[in-house]
Amino acid sequence: MRLWLPTLLRLVALVLLVAFIVEPQWFEPIFKPLTENNAPAIYNQGSLLSLTVQHLQIVALATLAAIVVAVALAILVTRPFGAEFLPLSRSLVNIGQTFPPVAVLALAVPAVGFGEKPTLIALFLYGLLPIFENSLTGLTTLPQPVVEAARGVGMTGWQRLMKVELPLALPVILAGVRLSVVISLATATIGSTVAAKTLGEVIIAGLFSNNLAFVLQGGLIVAVLAVLIHDALSALERFAARRTGRAV
């Protein structure tokens, strides 16, 4: 029974989340006590479903771009011809962690304008470091007997990379992706300050109108999404680890 309890709780959280973003009016009695002066209890300046989808879309696009760049850099610096670029690569991926996302947004807006673009740039830069470092760790801690066996059977460098190294490093790479996604889910809310369509709109609307119900709604949706996606990616890591025989 105890083993099923976490799964049951996640399922309940998912059902409640979907119900709330699709039919938020059902939950009005819960949020009504948090309002003052007959203010609306449910966010009414847009569709919660649409904002949630757009929020996830921005995070997905930024994460996908970060995965491509970070994994490519990790592959480059773990090859003999690219080892000398490791310090430069580390400096590049650290840019996102050096500058706060708000600062990146402020710098990006004059260059690309308001909307989703500056938010995508900020999330992309912020998500590079965990994916790069985990990819680097995964590719540099491979079991050498397996790599040598692949070399011994005549595999080319490209074949070893695609059929042996990346599959073996996958659980560790996924751990970095998980961390990057969770960070981006929370960070994406500030994109609404530069006119990006994210769940930050709900939180900002609540702050401007002093409506705690709006703030709580936006925060809860992001928090539940982060927990559910974190758990889903963790399960994917464990599956990949079992397939490769490597502990995450």
Q: Six-digit token pair at 39?
A: 């203010």
pLDDT tens, 108-132?
Answer: 888 888 888 899 999 999 899 999 9
pLDDT tens, 159-193?
Answer: 888 888 889 999 999 999 999 999 999 889 988 88
Q: Six-digit token pair at 52?
A: 């949630």
Residue 246 has a pLDDT of 59
Flag whether pLDDT at 53 surpasses 90. yes
Three-state SS for 66-95 is HHHHHHHHHHHHCCHHHHHHHHHHHHHHCH
Whether 54 contacts 197, CB under 8 Å: yes
Query: 171 or 145, which is more confident?
Result: 171
Is this prediction's pTM over 0.85?
yes
Residue 73 has a pLDDT of 94
Residue 112 has a pLDDT of 80
Flag whether pLDDT at 72 surpasses 60. yes
Residue 158 has a pLDDT of 84
What percentage of the chain exceeds 90 in pLDDT? 48
Give me the count of residues in the chain. Answer: 248
pLDDT (average), residues 7-33: 91
Q: How far apart are CA 48 and CA 35, in angstroms?
A: 18
Q: Six-digit token pair at 245?
A: 């025989």
Q: Which residues have C-beta within 8 Å of that of residue 22, sequence separation ≥ 6? A: 49
Residue 39 has a pLDDT of 86
DSSP 115: S
Residue 128 has a pLDDT of 92
Residue 82 has a pLDDT of 80
Q: Where are the beta strands (DSSP E) in the chain?
A: none
Residues 45-244: name the CATH superfamily.
MetI-like (1.10.3720.10)
Residue ranges per structural domain of the chain: 45-244
Q: How far apart are CA 124 and CA 88, in angstroms?
A: 18
Chain position carrying tokens 């039919």:
23
Flag whether pLDDT at 6 surpasses 80. no
Flag whether pLDDT at 70 surpasses 90. yes
Residue 89 has a pLDDT of 86
Residue 218 has a pLDDT of 93
pLDDT (average), residues 81-105: 82
CA separation, residue 233 to residues 11, 182, 228 (Å): 15, 10, 9
pLDDT (average), residues 68-94: 89
pLDDT (average), residues 212-224: 93
Q: How far apart are CA 73 and CA 194, in angstroms?
A: 30
Whether 128 contacts 70, CB under 8 Å: yes
